[in-house]
Amino acid sequence: MAADLVIVANRLPVDRVTRPDGTIEWRPSPGGLVTAIEPVMRANDGTWIGWPGGTEQDLEPFEADGLHLVPMSMTPEEIEGHYEGFSNGTLWPLYHDLVAKPEFHREWWDSYVGVNRRFAEKASEVAAKGATVWVHDYQLQLVPQMLRELRPDLRIGFYLHIPFPPAELFQQLPWRRQILEGLLGADLLGFQLPGGSANFVRLVRQRVGHKTHRDLVYLPDGRTVRAAAFPISIDAAGFEELAQTPAVAERATAIREALGNPRKIFLGIDRLDYTKGIYARLRAFSELIADGHLDVEDAVFVQVAVPSREQVEQYRILRDDIDRLVGRINGDLGRIGRPVISYLHSSYPREEMAALYRAADVMVVTPYRDGMNLVAKEYVACRFENDGALVLSEFAGAADELRQAWLINPYDINGMKTALLEAYEADDKTLTRRMKAMRKTISQHDVAAWAASFMLELGDSGDGTHAAPARAAKPS
C-alpha cells in the first residue's frame, strides 16, 4: 500500500526479541526518535523503512503496535562497510570534531553508496504520488538526491541528529561534494544548532558553487533548499509522569540505600563512546576525592555506560581504558563497602533510568561534542521538585537551551572539578532557581513541538508544485 508519509532511518523503531518458544516478537525501541515520530506516523498512516539489525535476508513488511514497517536487510559485508565502516569509522569521528581519527577507505564509501541506493529505491517504491518522505541521520546522507532523481514528485525532508562540522574539518572528506549534493536532494534540511546549518550553507557555496542567501540554497534546476536549526527534544511530560510513579520513587530510595545513603550522588549515563568524555569526568571526580575536597562517605559517582558498537576496535579500547581507570580509582581511594565509582556497563529500561535520575543529586554530562544530548533533558524532566544540579559540557547542543546548568569545557579538568564542587555545595535556593528555569525550557520545547515544527516547515518548503504535505501531529 502506498504511503503519504514515509520515514527513512538506519534502524526500525522496534527490536527483535526471540520468545522462549522460539517465535519472534517485535518490541518498540527505547529512544527519542521513536517517541518523536510515532504520533506523526499515526496521524498520517505512515510507513517506516529501516534495518532491524542482524543479517537476515528476504524480510517482509509487517505491522508492530499499529505501525507499518518495511525492514531492509544488510549483508555482513554491508554492516562492516556501510555501518561500522563509513558511518561510524569515517563520518562519526569527522562530524564530532575529530575526537578520534576518521579513516577514509574507498571500499567503505562504495558500500555506503550501495546501501543508500537501496534505501532510496525502497522509499521510491513505498511512497504515494506527491508523498512526504523524511530521511534521518548521517548513515543516509545520499538518499535525498537519489530519491529526488527517482521521484521528483516527492517532498523530501532530511534531519541530521549529530553535529555538522565546520568547513575546515568536513573538507578532509574525499567524498565531500557527493555528500553535499546528496543532502541537497531534500527540500528542507534540519540540524540541531544554527551553527550546523550555517556550516552546511557555507560549504555548499564554497564547494558546490550554488548561490546562497542566509539559510537558502538556490539550485540551477530552480529548486530552493532551506537549511535550518530544529533542536530535538524529549517527551518531557512522559518522563515527569514516570518519575512521579510510586514504583520509580521506591526504586530511587532503594538505589540511595544500596549506595550507603551518601550525602550526594553524582550520576553519568552515556553510550560507551569516545565522544562522551567519560574518562575525563571520572578522573576529575577522583581528584576531588584524592585532594580531600570530597569524601567517599559523603559522595559517590554512579556511571552507567551503555554498550555500544562493540565490534569497532576504538570502542573496545575505550571500554578497556575505562575498566582499568575505575579499578585503579576504587583500589586507590575506595574503602570496604564504599567504592568511589559505581560502574555499570549495561543498558536499562526507562523506569530504571528515571529512578537513577531521581536518586541523583548532580547529573554530569561532559561530551567533547554532541549533537544535542537528551540525557541532560531527561534528568531535568525527572526533577519535578525543582532540585538537583546539572553539570553540562558547553559542546553539547543542549547547552544552548539549558543555560542554567553549570557549563564546563570538558577538556579543562580543573574547570570541571570546580563546577562539580560548586554543584555539590550549592544551596537549595540556587538549585531551585536554576532547575525551575531549565524545566520551563524543556516543557515548552518538547519532542512533539520539534516534530510538528519540522513537518510544518517541510509543508511550506519546495517550489509549490507538490501535493498537500503530511499533517503534523498536534503537540500533546
For 148-177, the pLDDT digits (tens) are 999 999 999 999 999 999 999 999 999 999
Average predicted confidence (pLDDT) for the chain: 93
* Per-residue pLDDT, 466: 36
Pairing between strand 67-71 and 62-64?
A: antiparallel
What is the C-alpha separation between 226 and 217, in angstroms, rounded? 6
Task: Match domain 3-232+448-460 to its CATH number in 3.40.50.2000, 3.90.1170.50, 2.40.50.140, 1.10.1370.30.
Answer: 3.40.50.2000
Among the residue ranges 52-56, 296-300, 463-467, the one predicted with the least confidence is 463-467
C-alpha dihedral, 181 to 187 to 189 to 195, nearest 10°: 80
Q: Is 270 exposed, middle or buried (0-12, 13-18, 19+ CB in 10 A)?
A: buried
| pLDDT tens sequence across 386-430 | 999 999 999 999 999 999 999 999 999 999 999 999 999 999 999
Give pTM, 2 decimals. 0.94
Give the bridge partners for 155, in sequence order.
132
Instruction: Give 126's pLDDT tier (boundaries 50, 70, 90).
Output: very high
Quick check: 32 pLDDT over 70?
no
Q: Which of 395, 385, 353, 382 lies closest to 443 in space, CA to CA?
A: 382
Percent of the chain with pLDDT over 90: 83
Quick check: 106 pLDDT over 60?
yes
Helices 236-243, 428-444: crossing angle, 10 deg rounding: 130
| pLDDT tens sequence across 255-275 | 999 999 999 999 999 999 999
| Cell numbers describing residue 400 | 544552548
| pLDDT tens sequence across 200-231 | 999 999 999 999 999 999 999 999 999 999 99
* Per-residue pLDDT, 26: 84
Instruction: Give 21's pLDDT tier (boundaries 50, 70, 90).
Output: confident
Kindly list the domain boundaries of the chain, sorted by start residue. Answer: 3-232+448-460, 236-444
Quick check: 474 pLDDT over 50?
no
| pLDDT tens sequence across 432-460 | 999 999 999 999 999 889 999 999 999 98
Instruction: Give 39's pLDDT tier (boundaries 50, 70, 90).
Output: confident
| pLDDT tens sequence across 46-59 | 999 999 988 988 88
Question: Which has the higher per-residue pLDDT, 150 or 37?
Answer: 150
Please list, in sequence order, all residues whose beta carbon lies within 8 angstroms of the beta carbon of residue 243, skipping any fewer than 6 positions away. Answer: 354, 357, 358, 381, 382, 383, 384
Quick check: 469 pLDDT over 80?
no
Q: In this structure, how many other beta carbons lie within 10 angstroms of the beta carbon of residue 81?
A: 23
Q: In this structure, how many other beta carbons lie within 10 angstroms of the beta carbon of residue 380?
A: 32
* Per-residue pLDDT, 36: 72
Topology alike, domains 3-232+448-460 and 236-444: yes
State the fold for domain 236-444.
Answer: Rossmann fold (3.40.50)
